[in-house]
Amino acid sequence: MQRGEDAQMMLRARLRTDAEGRYHFWSIKPTFYPVPDDGPVGDMLRHMRRHPNRPGHIHLMLKHPGHQTLTTHLFVSDSPYLDSDAVFGVRNSLVVDFTRHPAGTAPDGRVLNKPYYTARYDFRLVPAAEHATA
């Protein structure tokens, strides 16, 4: 599924970091899904004897004035299809462990009555001037 059940949310959010560049948010643990395969893409995948599935992942776009915009995605380390992503997007450096925790007090202090997951990833934005000379 490429779109959430709640069409109003459209699976998007805008986040801001704190003064130290830290960020956090609540979401669901992503799962794998098939890309549409009823047209030319499906024909190509079948011709190549490939499945249409993408591993679970989160898309991100990071921006900061004076820095190169970074558009990327992070993949769930225990998701199927990491080694055979239909669009060849997986890089080892983008695979993240989602750690399961029992019900109880979450890192932000809220009490949850069911298990939850946490994941951590640190980004580095390149200054635009540095990017131009690379």
Give a yes or no: residue 100 inside a domain.
Answer: yes
Q: pLDDT at position 36, please?
A: 92
Give a yes or no: residue 102 inside a domain.
Answer: yes
- Positive or negative: CA dihedral 116, 32, 97, 59: negative
Give a yes or no: residue 22 inside a domain.
Answer: no
Give a yes or no: residue 18 inside a domain.
Answer: no
What CATH code is carried by the domain that includes residue 65?
2.60.130.10
Pairing of strands 111-112, 53-54: unpaired
Give a yes or no: residue 15 inside a domain.
Answer: no
pLDDT digits (tens, 9 = 90+) for 11-68: 678 888 999 988 998 888 999 999 999 999 999 999 999 999 999 999 999 999 999 9
Structural domain containing residue 77: 33-133
pLDDT score of 10 more than 90: no
Give a yes or no: residue 60 inside a domain.
Answer: yes
User: What HEC string does the chain produce?
Assistant: CCCCCCCCCCCCCCCCCCCCCCCCCCCCCCCCEECCCCCHHHHHHHHCCCCCEECCEEEEEECCCCECCEEEEEEECCCCCCCCCCCCCCCHHHEECCEEECCEECCCCCEECCCEEECCCCCCCCEHHHHHHC
pTM: 0.83
Task: State the total domains in the chain.
Answer: 1
